[in-house]
Structure 1
Amino acid sequence: MSRLPAYYKSIAKQSKFAHLNVFISLAEDAIAIPPTSDSNEPRHKLAGKRIAIKDNICTSDLPTTAGSGILKDFISPYDATVVKQLRDAGATISGKTNMDEFGMGSHSVHSFFGTVSQVGAGGVPLSAGGSSGGSAVAVKYGQCDVALGTDTGGSVRLPAAYTGVIGFKPSYGLLSRWGVIAYANSLDTVGILAKSVDTIQSAFDPTSLPPSTRSRLRHPRPSNSPLRIGIPLEYNISTLQPSIRKTWIRALHLLESKGHTLHIVSLPATRHALSAYYILAPAEASSNLAKYDGVRFGSRADGKDGTPESVLFAKTRGAGFGPEVRRRILLGAFSLSAQAIDNYFIQAQKIRRLVQRDFDSVFRASNPLLSDIEEEMGNDGGVDVLLCPTAPTLPPRISELESQDPVAETVNDVFTVPASLAGLPAISVPIGVRRSSNEIKEKGAEAEQATGMQIIGQYGDDGLVLDVARQLEEAVLE
């Protein structure tokens, strides 16, 4: 007997945005739930708010598929910690959002349940970013007040940049991962998407770190205190679209107008971060996904499985996993093999440490996770936060992705991966891209389109990152 609830039904009959394929499952009355007015003075800022949950975060009343065919019938017996905290605050879980299978992708096109998209100029379907594309689109079109996503190498920030919403990745470990289906444990971070920084802050509960670690974190500096804003030289890459470079310069001037100062910094290991990430993340994924064999976890394929020439669960895994997941499992298994681990996995771990040291060397604040001796080696001439683009390009058309080389897709993460490797807090804030009338006419581009500017802070400086994001948000609206 199926455990699927009665409201696990066709989304096409429930939403005018059904063609965007945002939700995998919806609560029965999700569409009818009205936003809560601030005048009602709820007991908690989230009371009555509609929250969309990425479908790799466990919920006890809705399926949790991780966008994969191998989990298409799975319903968790419990809520993830972050979901329980939202329910306890009075929030309403409105549905589970579509995503790249197991979080593997940059455009939300690798889902068992189909591609997520957003509407571009002339009704052209555009990439929603990945892997939390469904959560970002749900926020963009008002299908929820807040959405949860997960960020392994940029999976919250990239969709936020592509859809023009705010996406926040906290410091690694500040939000609980209990009940989150793992992709890469040392990188996975629960993130928040919304239309304002204040809404992000209302949903942010950084209480999952042990008290001994939390006591080492700094309190945010006063909002009226002049800050040193870092401009990472290595992020000005040759493939950065000119319109995004202009927007980056505009964002820097906006913060400068708030009384902050700008300083060029160098992060030399950044150029190797993307390569290291695509060794480390698939390696962890190959281990995490080994349990999905149709015996212990996951749906079993129909018919006979296993032959004298293959293992018992070969057919189940081949049918249950999509091509992108299979590709990354193979890459990860090779990186961990005896003949390759020294030249690939170990070297990638060394690069990861170099990336972290680069960040520590440019921030004025020391890393609270370092030893006391290392912590005293703070950089008094360093910067408080870094500002750089979230993505090197504007969202491509879905039709362009169909012929895209799988390796080309990974380039979208070039600006988001470094902060993930170092476990740092980062937020993407939308800023409008200014175009001339000729550009709009010749390229068929949207007259009004936003791109994301990313603010990165030292580990534990989440409050400071949110404060600078709020200042940038206000400056854009002035």
Structure 2
Amino acid sequence: MTDLNALTIADARDALRKGDVTSVELTEACLKAADGAKALNAFVHPTHDLALEQAKAADARIKDGEAPAMCGVPLGIKDLFCTRHVPSQAASGILEGFKPEYESTVTRQLFESGAVMLGKLNMDEFAMGSSNETSVYGDVVNPWKVDDAQRTPGGSSGGSAAAVAADLCLAATGTDTGGSIRQPAAFTGTVGLKPTYGRCSRWGIVAFASSLDQAGPMTKTVRDAAIMLQAMAGHDPKDSTSADIPVPDFESMLTGDIRGKTIGIPKEYHMEGMPAEIEALWTDGRKMLQDAGAKIVDISLPHTKYALPAYYVIAPAEASSNLARYDGVRFGHRAKLAQGDGITEMYEKTRAEGFGDEVKRRVMVGTYVLSAGFYDAYYNRARKVRTLIKKDFEDVFAQGVDAILTPATPSAAFPLGAMTDADPVQMYLNDVFTVTVNLAGLPGIAVPAGLDGQGLPLGLQLIGRPWEEGDLLNTAYALEQSAGFVSKPDKWW
């Protein structure tokens, strides 16, 4: 058998059921791989004892029969998910020492299905970033290396993407507010699925922008994404935005047959200055789906050009509101105060010490756009644009389009430090193909589809109809089969 940590969820499930391997063996292989990959800086709070305890329980459950598909599967959990009695810092200094007394709904459901937690994964602070360079734990390094440069794994779920790509775990949880699952997946040659807003509960996930945040799986294959999503999804009365609709068996919908499906190609995504390799990959993807029997049509999403500005008004506004709770009073970091300091000084010093520069920048932008004189000029206008972007997608789907094919990112993974000193807007432009999906609340998936001239992975994005993740996953499965992407990073860490 291959290295156990290199297995997919589907292969591990089958091997566990046959008795070819135990969850303890799988878990030990992943823990060993993670311990030997310190150079990637993906795992920040390992949970060895808990993992082995969960693995033993999973083995007993499998032996008894009737274990769910995720039973015994070792996962990495993004540090944004609150995990009971395990540090949950959202990669921020302000939450240093915070160990929740409760479990997020998504991790609780995964653990109830028998999944094993190897530890918490690095990320951009409060999920704010596209390169995993804003973390209090330091940068995550992309396992893909083609020269002397260390590259970004993308953000904010960079630790999750790097851990899955380097086979440190079989899969990982991610969250996506403006592309934070799909962009890192594309940068690391993995699969990243952002479900429809409301498909997975947000309860117990540290909030960034509440109307945009959505949890999803980051996996090695589309089949794995289908298996893991089923365990993560479902209605949760504790989350008022959680949808009370049935969760289908997503894996059973993976036939690979997309004959008669209509795939839209939006003309507005042909961005000025797009690298020729991204354009060529998009053309190849279009041909792959056409050869698989889909009908390809050109479509228009006219308000796409306003998506980035609208997103970078709405997301910081919601962040400014959500992050007001971090004040040094109840939990996390509290600054040392001088004699005579009052509560205002405590707030100011705690936030100045606890928040990183990018978080401070977004909180200030958000507070500005929500202030009395600018609320209508910025925030309300952005909300109206958001409605128009949503309507663009509704109009296209009403014309019979089943899914939309776009690039996932405007480039391959760039070197760490290449954009941090530049204008922050340059970094924000990395989200150009992904933010529309969050603004409209739609499901989107990044599928690895090829390598650039240097040998770095490139991904394509498919956007689906709301609540039709099964259909979207099947289209992604057909694309995955046609692309035949099997490349892995050479181990250097």
Deviation at 1:245, TM superposition (A): 0.8
1:79-94 alignment to 2 at 5 Å? 79-94=103-118
1:165-197 Cα shifts (integer Å, max 9, x gaps): 000000001001110010011001001100011
Counterpart for residue 75 of structure 1: 99
Aligned residue type for 1:388: T
Distance in 2 between the 1:346 and 1:451 partners?
Answer: 36
CA-based RMSD of the aligned residues comes to 2.8
Question: Structure 2-normalised TM-score?
Answer: 0.84
Which range moves more in the overlay, 108-117 or 300-309? 300-309
| Structure 1 position 125 matched with structure 2 position 150 | yes
Q: Following the alignment from structure 2 to structure 1, what is the Cα–Cα distance between the partners of residues 309 and 468?
A: 27
Aligned AA (2:484) = L
Greater mean deviation of Cα atoms: 396-405 or 53-62: 396-405
* Cα deviations by residue, 1:211-265 (Å, 9 ceiling, x for unpaired): 9852799997974542111001100101211111101111111111101111000
Q: Does 1:214 align with 2:245?
A: yes
The 2-side partners of 1:190 and 1:347 are apart by 27
Q: Which of 270, 274, 280 is matched with 1:246 structurally? A: 280
Deviation (angstroms), 1:283 = 0.3
Per the TM alignment, residue 302 of structure 1 is displaced from its structure 2 partner at its CA by 2.5
CA distance in 2 between counterparts of 1:158 and 1:22 reads: 16
Q: Which moved more, 1:91-100 or 1:42-51?
A: 42-51
The one-letter code of the counterpart of 1:456 is I
* Per-residue deviation, 1:298: 2.5
1:293 paired to 2:334: no
Give the drift of 1:42: 7.1
Counterpart position of 2:363: 329
Match of 2:48 in 1: 28
**Cα distance in structure 2, aligned partners of 1:221 and 1:164:** 20
Contact preservation (8 Å) 1:105, 1:130: yes
Cα 1:244–1:344 change in 2 (3 A) is same
Structure 1 residues 345 and 218, CA, compared in 2 at 3 Å: closer, same or farther? farther
**Matches of 1:236 and 1:250 in 2, distance apart?**
15
| Secondary structure, counterpart of 1:148 in structure 2 | strand
Unpaired runs of 5+ residues, structure 2, are: 1-30, 486-493
Would you say how many aligned residue pairs link Structure 1 and Structure 2?
Answer: 440
C-alpha spacing 1:111/1:42, structure 2 compared with 1 (3 Å): farther
2:258–2:294 contact (8 Å) kept in structure 1: no
TM normalised by structure 1 equals 0.86
CA distance in 1 between counterparts of 2:315 and 2:55 reads 39
Contact (CA 8 Å) 1:156, 1:191: kept in 2 or not?
yes
Q: Which residue in 1 is equivalent to 2:140? A: 116
Say whether 1:427 aligns with 2:427: no
**1:153 is the counterpart of 2:178:** yes
> Alignment partner of 2:411: what SS?
coil
Q: Retained in 1: the 8 A contact 2:187–2:459?
A: yes
Letter in 1 for 2:408: T
Gaps of 5+ in 1: 1-10, 364-377, 436-444
Which of 340, 359, 363 is 2:374 aligned to?
Answer: 340
Per-residue CA shift, 1:88-139, capped at 9, x if unaligned?
1111011100011000000000011101111421352101100000000010
Residue 204 of structure 2: which of 151, 171, 179 is its match? 179
> Identity of paired residues, percent?
40
Q: Is the 8 A contact 1:158 1:390 kept in 2?
A: yes
Question: In structure 1, what is the Cα distance between the partners aligned to 2:340 and 2:213?
Answer: 33
Runs ≥4 in structure 1, deviation > 6 angstroms? 11-14, 30-37, 39-42, 209-212, 215-222
Point out the more displaced range, 41-50 or 391-400: 41-50
Q: Post-superposition shift, 1:401?
A: 2.8
Matched to 2:177, the amino acid is T
Q: Could you say what secondary structure the match of 1:158 adopts? A: helix
Question: 1:459 is matched with which residue: 438, 445, 466?
Answer: 466
